[in-house]
Amino acid sequence: MRSYATRTARPVDLPSREERAAALEAAGYNLFGVDADRVFVDLLTDSGTGTMSDAQWAALLRGDESYAGSTSFRRLREAVDEVMGFDRVVPAHQGRGAENVLYGAIVDEGDHVLNNTHFDTTRAHVAANGGEAVDCPVPAAGDPDAEAPFKGNFDVDAGRAYVDDVGAENVPVVVLTVTNNSAAGQPVSVANTREVAAFAEEIDATFVIDACRFAENARFVTERETEFDDATAAEVASEQLGYADAVVMSAKKDGLANTGGFVAIGEGHDDLFERAKQRAILYEGFPTYGGLAGRDMEAMAVGLREAVDDDYLAHRVGQVAELGAELAAAGLPVYEPVGGHAVYVDAGALLDHIPPSEFPGQALACELYLEGGVRTVELGSFAFPETDRPEYVRFAVPRRTYHREHFEHVGETAAAVADRTDDLTGFEVVDEPPMAELRHFSADLRPLDA
Ligand code: F0G
């Protein structure tokens, strides 16, 4: 059994109820606007918010800050090769930087890109290059109660039907996002990965894996896919990623780092590798540092190896499951099974007296903050206007950062809110930025009873 001993302590105090109410009002009822020192348990995201290991901190001191050809880059490349099986690596400052490098090199005006489910930044990069982002999740992904081991899978039949419609020549890229963040962090099986790879080959498309949470995905495969009963997560990860032509990565997730990302490119794609390096020079930095300090690449190299350690993963996925159990016991409708990095709660089912136009997810997220200083994120009608997504609130767990007492506090907070759902009211947007798709980061809201 694995646990982690904390060697750097940061005091975190629960602000008083009055302070929380004032912070929420000052933030325009938008939790992105609340200062972190006003938050008691911060479950806004698992991205870059985790705790580095002592080995990672030690590695920082080896950072080689040479502009070209640094040894830190070489160590990163060796780690990517060892863990993922790709030795052609273009670093970037974070995942979306890597997306800009990759999708700018392979998506053109009028193209269609298929994905199990596009994450927001992926969708935006496809659109920014004139492409159309098309989601092909399996039907069970949209059912929070369906019992299935791999609800993150890609619906290859749906993909094929789409390609029949638009023509294979207009679909240059097929992406598989593991785990599927926008489908409640659900895993993707290796069997499905093989099918998607074969489908991409059939239509002559580049097969990309968005590997942000590849290690958590591998853990679920070892637990749920019979063929891999005796495999280690490291074995599953290299097999699963090995089917891809290219990998796009945010090291802020399963790189266990606070920043960083990269594109990794497989054999036989020399031209793509060259184009990616040229774009990296334009947008990120010379292709042996990609907008990162040498020390960041050192932390990534160590983190990638730690991320596929089975004991680490048992602890990691176990913590998320533990939070899921706390929230279910508190009476919240939890998406089942619980995913790899976060617990998703169906606020639409909990607050069925608040219509989607009045943002039930935002009402729940604000109330959780007010009640216990717990910060979550709404991923429903407020974050995604003009779509008919479920009204999810995501409780994302930073890696190696919180302990049982934090999850108990979140459970108690949730139970107190669940006891008085009838008192909760909806919200309206009073001020929003010009790009509606980005409004959840900065829009101001107002409670409808105020
Ligand atoms: N792809 C996926 C599947 C992601 O979840 C994210 C980020 C990115 C790409 C972009 O990476 O943040 O390093 O630029 N997800 C974070 C989240 C922000 O909270 O889910 P990035």
| Alpha carbons within 13 A on the beta-carbon side of 39 | 18
If you ran DSSP here, which 8-state letter would residue 133 be given? E
Nearest CA owner, ligand 1 atom 9: 95
Secondary structure element (H or E) that encloses residue 87, with its range? none
> Which of 147, 185, 189 has its CA nearest to residue 43?
185
Instruction: Report whether 342 contacts 320 (CB < 8 A).
Output: yes
Nearest CA owner, ligand 1 atom 5: 181
Instruction: Report whether 206 contacts 173 (CB < 8 A).
Output: yes
Is pTM, for the whole model, over 0.95? yes
- What is the rounded distance in angstroms from the CA atom of residue 28 to the CA atom of residue 149? 39
Q: What pLDDT was estimated at residue 316?
A: 98
For the CA of 342, the closest atom of ligand 1 is 20
If you ran DSSP here, which 8-state letter would residue 338 be given? -
For a pocket test of ligand 1, which of 31, 253, 441 has the largest count of ligand atoms closer than 8 A to its C-beta? 253
For the CA of 253, the closest atom of ligand 1 is 13
Instruction: Report whether 334 contacts 233 (CB < 8 A).
Output: no
Give the 3-state secondary structure percentages of the chain, helix then strand then coil, rounded to 5: 45, 15, 40
- What is the rounded distance in angstroms from the CA atom of residue 294 to the CA atom of residue 174? 32
- What is the rounded distance in angstroms from the CA atom of residue 398 to the CA atom of residue 19? 25
- Rounded to 10 degrees, the C-alpha dihedral 321/184/254/115 comes to 150
For the CA of 177, the closest atom of ligand 1 is 3
For the CA of 250, the closest atom of ligand 1 is 13
The domain limits of the chain are: 17-39+310-447, 54-307
For a pocket test of ligand 1, which of 93, 113, 212 has the largest count of ligand atoms closer than 8 A to its C-beta? 212
Ligand 1 proximal residues by C-beta, below 6 Å: 45, 47, 94-96, 119, 121-122, 177, 181, 210, 212, 250, 252, 261
Give exposure, 365-394, as e/b (b: 16+ Cβ within 10 Å): bbbbbbbbbbbbbbbbbbbbeeeeebbbbb
Q: What pLDDT was estimated at residue 386?
A: 79
Q: What pLDDT was estimated at residue 450?
A: 53
List the beta strands (DSSP E) in 48-158.
88-92, 112-115, 132-135
For the domain spanning 17-39+310-447, the CATH number is 3.90.1150.10
| Alpha carbons within 13 A on the beta-carbon side of 32 | 15
- What is the rounded distance in angstroms from the CA atom of residue 206 to the CA atom of residue 188? 19
> Which of 67, 74, 119 has its CA nearest to residue 98?
119
62: Cα separation from own chain's centroid: 29
For the CA of 377, the closest atom of ligand 1 is 19
Nearest CA owner, ligand 1 atom 13: 95
Nearest CA owner, ligand 1 atom 4: 119
For a pocket test of ligand 1, which of 121, 214, 283 has the largest count of ligand atoms closer than 8 A to its C-beta? 121
Burial of 444 (0-12, 13-18, 19+ CB in 10 A): middle
Q: What pLDDT was estimated at residue 389?
A: 86
List the beta strands (DSSP E) in 17-162.
41-42, 88-92, 112-115, 132-135
- CATH code matching the domain that covers 54-307, chosen among 3.40.640.10, 3.60.20.10, 1.10.340.30, 3.90.1150.10: 3.40.640.10
Mean pLDDT, consecutive 10-residue stretches, the chain (450 aa), reads: 91 97 98 98 98 98 98 98 98 98 98 97 95 97 96 98 98 98 97 98 98 98 98 98 98 98 96 98 98 98 98 98 98 98 98 97 98 97 88 98 97 98 96 85 90
- What is the rounded distance in angstroms from the CA atom of residue 327 to the CA atom of residue 324? 5
